Amino acid sequence: MTVKANDCPVELVFSLLSGKWKISIYRHLYNNESVRYGGLKRHIPSITKKMLTEQLRELESDGIIQRKIYDEIPPKVEYSLTEHGRSMIVFLDMMSEWGIKHIYSETSL
């Protein structure tokens, strides 16, 4: 992703996590040190293999996750969050708190 000095930081963050499955992938990786492709697929059973691969590639390209390939047969690949990716949890937690408050304020109207 190419970032320019005049880009809106909030839009940048949302573009990094835009996609139906990126937050689910992120949360699963955050709660686990590393996860293999099959583990992610089991965690999100309704995602297609094509979409999971695409979302993982985008997250890796954006520096949010890293892919480690082991030199063995059969091939073994694990995904984990980068330090950059782990740092995102602070504002994701804040967004979660806001969402909870919003849900309960809407139900009390």
pLDDT band with cut points at 50, 70 and 90 for residue 91: confident
pLDDT band with cut points at 50, 70 and 90 for residue 108: low
Domain spans, the chain: 14-107
Average pLDDT over residues 33-42: 94
Beta-carbon neighbour count of residue 7 at 10 Å? Answer: 12
Residue 29, phi then psi, degrees to nearest 5: -70, -35
pLDDT band with cut points at 50, 70 and 90 for residue 83: very high
pTM (two decimals):
0.83
Average pLDDT over residues 26-50: 94
DSSP structure class, residue 76: E
CATH architecture of 14-107: Orthogonal Bundle (1.10)
